[in-house]
């Protein structure tokens, strides 16, 4: 007696959600072990692709950090004709600190101004012989919060600052700020464009690599379809395989990145004129590491979904 098409269909629907997941995960793991060469090639491709992305992120994070340090030099300076009394300094600091956008306020008296001037002319202190503290003006340096360092925000801040009673001449290097912020925006746009291009390239490479692994098992897919397996039953193990391969690729990429980063730091002094660690170079923050792991899993999943469309009809 011939069995009906329905009777040979795998009864995944009869299982509970957890039982189905365990079944599909076990099948996916068995498939990975049975196809070691193809699995190795796929994981290697994902590792290489994500390593390129992670290197770009590492470079981008450090460039952002450097630019942020430079942006801290955007300081609004207020000059006073005479020295302020302690009471006047306290009162004026309170008024300036209450302005929206103020990060920190520092008063620099005439004596302190001369000391700073001397430190900047280190080795040429003789040029300042006979220069009295009264020659230099007292000033107040105002640092702004990060979100208030754009040209428009600074102009708006300075307009509000001029209304504060007791404020003298204001300078903030308007032309330098404008050029610096234009350069900063250009760097960010360039970084986003390069990052987007790399991401699309990685997705294309990973998708085509996974497609090769599925193509190598085309007969298996056809047999499952012929015996009445549902599209979900056929796809699920392959999707889990893609996620496992993506996770492994991301993990290996992070391990290589960490190894390369610390190897670079320990040997950089030998071939560079400075120590990168002392210059403020940092590793990827934890949120980026988590994003790479999630990105690896997502790449594997998307690659599998895109590749299965050709062989499995919903």
Give residue 280's pLDDT.
66
Predicted pLDDT of residue 168: 75
- Domain ranges across the chain: 12-69+182-308, 75-171
Whether the CA torsion 21, 228, 223, 313 is positive or negative: it is negative
Mean pLDDT of the chain: 77
- Predicted confidence at residue 1, as pLDDT, reads 42
Q: With the C-alpha atoms ordered 296, 299, 303, 305, is the resulting torsion angle positive or negative?
A: positive
pLDDT in tens, 76-91: 888 887 888 888 888 8
Q: What is the three-class DSSP state of 108? A: strand
Task: Report whether pLDDT(184) > 50.
Answer: yes
**Which two three-digit tokens encode residue 311?**
């062989």
Could you tell me the CA-to-CA distances from 199 to 52, 53, 74, 158, 188 in Å, in that order?
10, 7, 34, 41, 16
Band of residue 253 on the pLDDT scale cut at 50, 70, 90? very high
Q: For 7-44, how does the pLDDT look when each residue is reduced to its tens digit (9 = 90+)?
A: 444 455 556 677 777 877 888 888 778 778 878 888 88
Say yes or no: domain 75-171 is CATH 3.40.50.880: no
Q: What is the pLDDT of residue 8?
A: 43
**164-181 pLDDT per residue, tens:** 888 878 887 666 667 777
pLDDT tens across 150-167, in order? 777 888 888 888 888 888
pLDDT one-digit tens code per residue, 262-314 = 888 777 656 665 556 556 678 888 999 999 999 889 888 888 887 777 665 55
Contacts of 311 (CB under 8 A, 6+ apart): 214, 218, 221
Q: What is the pLDDT of residue 268?
A: 64
Contacts of 140 (CB under 8 A, 6+ apart): 77, 78, 80, 92, 93, 96, 105, 106, 107, 108
- The gap from C-alpha 168 to its chain's centroid, in whole angstroms, comes to 41
Provide the pLDDT for residue 209. 73
For 207-249, what is each residue's pLDDT tens digit? Answer: 777 777 777 777 777 777 777 767 777 778 888 888 898 899 9
**pLDDT score of 2 more than 80:** no
Whole-angstrom distance, CA of residue 212 vs CA of residue 44: 14
């Amino acid at each position: 007696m011939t069995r009906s098409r329905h009777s040979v269909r795998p009864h995944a629907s009869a299982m509970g959600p957890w039982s189905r997941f365990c079944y599909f995960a076990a099948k996916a793991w068995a498939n990975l072990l049975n196809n070691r060469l193809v699995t190795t090639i796929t994981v290697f491709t994902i590792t290489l692709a994500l390593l390129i992305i992670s290197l770009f992120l590492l470079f981008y994070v450090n460039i952002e950090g450097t630019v942020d340090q430079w942006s801290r030099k955007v300081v609004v300076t207020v000059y006073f004709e005479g020295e302020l009394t302690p009471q006047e300094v306290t009162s004026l600091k309170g008024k300036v600190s209450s302005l929206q956008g103020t990060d920190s306020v520092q008063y620099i008296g005439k004596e302190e101004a001369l000391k700073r001037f001397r430190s900047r002319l280190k080795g040429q202190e003789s040029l300042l012989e006979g220069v009295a503290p009264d020659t230099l003006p007292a000033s107040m340096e105002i640092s702004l919060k990060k979100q208030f360092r754009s040209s428009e925000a600074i102009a708006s801040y300075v307009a509000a600052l001029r209304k504060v009673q007791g404020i003298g001449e204001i300078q903030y290097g308007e032309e330098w700020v404008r050029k610096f912020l234009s350069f900063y925006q250009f760097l960010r746009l360039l970084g986003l464009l390069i990052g987007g291009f790399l991401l699309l390239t990685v997705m294309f490479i990973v998708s085509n690599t996974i497609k090769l692994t599925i193509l190598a098992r085309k007969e298996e897919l056809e047999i499952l379809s012929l015996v009445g397996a549902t599209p979900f039953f056929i796809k699920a193990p392959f999707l889990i395989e893609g996620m496992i391969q993506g996770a492994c690729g991301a993990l290996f990429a992070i391990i290589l990145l960490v190894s390369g980063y610390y190897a670079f730091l320990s040997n950089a002094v030998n071939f560079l004129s400075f120590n990168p660690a002392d210059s403020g170079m940092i590793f990827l923050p934890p949120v980026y590491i988590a994003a790479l792991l999630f990105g690896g899993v997502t790449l594997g999943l998307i690659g599998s979904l895109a590749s299965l469309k050709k062989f499995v009809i919903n």
